[in-house]
Structure 1
Amino acid sequence: MDLIAFSKALEIGLNLPKIPLEVQEVALQEAHGRILAVDLHAKDPLPKATNSAMDGFGLRLEDLGQTLPIAKTLYAGSPLDTLPPKACAKIMTGALVPDEVDVIVPWEKMQSYNETHATAPLGFKKGANIRYEGENIKVGDLLLSKGTRLKTGHMALLASQGLATLSVFKKLKVGVFSSGDEVVPLGSVAKPHQIYDTNGVVLVAMLQNLGFEATHLGHLPDNLQEQSARLKEALAYDVLISSAGVSVGDKDHFKEALAHLGAKIHYHGVHVKPGKPILCASVGTTRIFGMPGNPLSCVLTFLALVRPVLCKQAGSHTQEPPIKARLKSPLNLKGQRTYLILGQLENGVFTPYKDNAYGAGAIDALSGANAMACLQGGEQEVLVWLLP
């Protein structure tokens, strides 16, 4: 197994040819987390029309300091009105502002007012408390670009444009296998020589959390012919992920099974701890990842090396940005390999779980941490990702 640097493995993954993705139309309320397939431009300005930012009184700038009759009351949802000379209008938040109104004075800032007359103090500038048409967005402005993963704020912006449906990429279809004769499904009773299928459950959950269509395809036994046949059947998926069977043991057949399918191996073995035996391959347009069997190694290498690749393959033009943090105390890390370390991130400080004194089988570290740090030996500034 020829190891490559962590940075090189990530570069290879991010530069894989894009999987052809179909486009579908979905209702806006169902689009959270989906990835835009087109650029979207504003068809309406924002604000759509000049309106009041406050409840108060609207008047001309030259009439500040004078007692004026209240000519009318303006409400949100009413058509645009006019303001007679030497008069003011009571106006509510969101109401359209007459062309004659230069300033809106909030009720609590008025010098005095009653049912018929009002006096606004001096000192307000033209445009005070007025939201002008198009001051935030003009017609034709780019709202969101192709490849944007939609968040709540994006949906609010698009709703303000009256968009009922959106063109998004179809969800990436990901098939997940669990490998190893020792693995038994949840709900059964594991014997002393058996383990429960942790990886299958966790991988599917993380994939679904990313917005992918993830399906658990069952168990791959430690048999070369059967693995080859099962993998061949699953090549209709955009991505296949299998855990275990990627090292160099007598029963580690995954790489050989891929060879039977004519797979191109992009890398096998990365200078990273944990997760050294991770494998990345392709058969046609199907991207394939062989993950370490240890649950902790499987999760960390998925987050660090697989997640960013799948997000790009799904059409996203951005990656989840890391958080820059400093270590609570120095770590004695040997060599120049990359380390993936679990811990707690709080106020910009990363504290490794149990001072990084936990083994590869310590699944409790996953539940006891809120973040993963990626660093080389000797570094005190680290990049951190929050755990999903």
Structure 2
Amino acid sequence: MDLISFQEALKIGLNLPQMGLEVQKVPLQEAHGRILAKDFYAKDPLPKATNAAMDGFGFRLEDLGKSMPIGATIYAGNPLAVLAPGTCLKIMTGALVPDGVDVVVPLEQMQEYDDLNATAPLGFKKGANIRYEGENFQAGDLLLKKGTPLKIGDIALLASQGCATLSVYQKLKVGVFSSGDEVVGLGSAAQKHQVYDTNGVVLVAILQHLGFEATHLGHLPDHLKEQTKRLQESLTHDVLISSAGVSVGDKDHFKEALLQMGAKIHYHGVNVKPGKPILCASVADKLIFGMPGNPLSCVATFLALVRPVLCKQAGNNTPEPLIKARLNSPLNVKGQRMHLVLGHLENGVFTPYKDNTYGAGAIDALSRSNGLAYFSGVTEVLVSLLP
């Protein structure tokens, strides 16, 4: 197995040809987490019209400090009123501000007022407590770029523009296998020589969290012909991911099965710990990843090397942010390679779980950690938060 560097593996994955993505229309309330398929431009300015930011009184600057008759009271939803000469206006939050009103003085800051007259103190600057039309953005401004994963704030912004439906990319269809004759499904009674299907369940959960349409396709037996058949039948999915069977053992048939299908192997073996045997391949425009069988290795390498590739393939132009952090103490590791270290990130400081002395089978490390650090022998690390 010829190893390539972590950086090279990631570059290969990110430079794979973009698979064709279908576009669909969805109601705005169902668009959270989806990937925007077209640039979205503002239909209206924000604010749409100049309006009051507070409940109060509208005055001309030169009338501050004077007792002024109240010419009218205006509310949000009222048509635009007129400020008559020699008067002020009582105005509520969101109401349209008439021409001539220079400031809105909040009720609690008024010098005095009753039903007929109002006196505002001096000291307010022009524009105080007024939201001017278009001060946030103008009609025609680019609000959201194609490829944006939509957050709650984006949904609110689009709703404010009257957007009822939205063009988004179809979700990637990802099929997940677990391989190995020792693997048994959850809910059954595993014997001493068996293990529960942790990888399949965890991968599906992560994939669904990332917004993909993920399906557990079951178990791949340690049999070359059967693996080839099952994988070939599953190419209706955009992406296939299988765990275990990617090393060089007698029953590790995954790579050979792919070759019998005519797959192109992009890499097999990365200089990373854990997760060295990870494999990336493609058949036509379908992507296939072979993950290590150990759950820690499987999750770590998926997050580091597979997640960014799938997000890009899904049309997402916003990479998962990596957080710069300091190590709480020096981390001694062996070998010149990328180390993926589980631990806890708090206030910019990363603390490896059990000082990075946990073993490959310590699944508790996943439960007790909130971050995955990328470490290659420096005092600072980059950390991605665990889903």
* TM-score using structure 2 length: 0.99
1:22 aligns with 2:22: yes
- Whichever residue aligns with residue 137 of structure 2, its letter is I
Deviation of 1:60 (Å): 1.0
* Aligned residue number for residue 381 of structure 2: 382
Deviation of 1:172 (Å): 0.3
* Aligned residue number for residue 49 of structure 2: 49
SS state at 1:302 partner: helix
Provide Cα deviations, 1:275-334, integer angstroms capped at 9, x if missing partner: 000000000010000000000100000000000000000000111111110000001112
- Whichever residue aligns with residue 279 of structure 1, its letter is L
SS state at 1:25 partner: strand
* Aligned residue number for residue 238 of structure 1: 238
SS state at 1:115 partner: coil
Between the aligned partners of 1:58 and 1:288, the Cα distance in structure 2 is: 65
Provide Cα deviations, 1:174-227, integer angstroms capped at 9, x if missing partner: 000000000000011111100000000000000000000000001000000000
* Aligned residue number for residue 279 of structure 1: 279
Between the aligned partners of 2:38 and 2:90, the Cα distance in structure 1 is: 44
* Aligned residue number for residue 133 of structure 1: 133
Between the aligned partners of 1:258 and 1:42, the Cα distance in structure 2 is: 48
* Aligned residue number for residue 196 of structure 2: 196
1:311 aligns with 2:311: yes
* Aligned residue number for residue 329 of structure 2: 329
SS state at 1:139 partner: coil
* Aligned residue number for residue 181 of structure 1: 181
Between the aligned partners of 2:120 and 2:367, the Cα distance in structure 1 is: 60
Between the aligned partners of 1:380 and 1:123, the Cα distance in structure 2 is: 53
Between the aligned partners of 2:100 and 2:79, the Cα distance in structure 1 is: 15
* Aligned residue number for residue 167 of structure 1: 167
Deviation of 1:59 (Å): 1.2
Provide Cα deviations, 1:90-114, integer angstroms capped at 9, x if missing partner: 1111011011211111112111111
* Aligned residue number for residue 264 of structure 2: 264
* Aligned residue number for residue 348 of structure 2: 348
1:254 aligns with 2:251: no
Deviation of 1:355 (Å): 0.6
Between the aligned partners of 2:351 and 2:311, the Cα distance in structure 1 is: 28
> Greater shift after overlay, 254-263 or 94-103?
94-103
Provide Cα deviations, 1:242-270, integer angstroms capped at 9, x if missing partner: 00000000000000000001100000000
SS state at 2:276 partner: coil
* Aligned residue number for residue 70 of structure 1: 70
* Aligned residue number for residue 157 of structure 1: 157
- Whichever residue aligns with residue 5 of structure 1, its letter is S
1:36 aligns with 2:36: yes
Between the aligned partners of 2:231 and 2:266, the Cα distance in structure 1 is: 17
Between the aligned partners of 1:368 and 1:345, the Cα distance in structure 2 is: 11
Moved over 2 A (4+): none
SS state at 1:255 partner: helix
* Aligned residue number for residue 119 of structure 1: 119
Deviation of 1:236 (Å): 1.2
Provide Cα deviations, 1:4-62, integer angstroms capped at 9, x if missing partner: 00000000000000110100000000000000000000011100010001111001111
Deviation of 1:123 (Å): 1.3
SS state at 1:306 partner: helix
SS state at 1:339 partner: strand
Between the aligned partners of 1:257 and 1:381, the Cα distance in structure 2 is: 41
* Aligned residue number for residue 4 of structure 1: 4
The aligned length equals: 387
Between the aligned partners of 1:11 and 1:295, the Cα distance in structure 2 is: 24
Deviation of 1:71 (Å): 1.2
Between the aligned partners of 2:12 and 2:29, the Cα distance in structure 1 is: 36
For structure 2, the residue ranges without an aligned partner over 5 or more in a row are none
* Aligned residue number for residue 86 of structure 1: 86
SS state at 2:202 partner: helix
Between the aligned partners of 1:291 and 1:78, the Cα distance in structure 2 is: 62
Between the aligned partners of 1:56 and 1:380, the Cα distance in structure 2 is: 56
1:61 aligns with 2:67: no
Deviation of 1:125 (Å): 1.3
- Whichever residue aligns with residue 380 of structure 1, its letter is T
SS state at 2:49 partner: coil
* Aligned residue number for residue 338 of structure 2: 338
- Whichever residue aligns with residue 186 of structure 2, its letter is L
SS state at 2:373 partner: strand
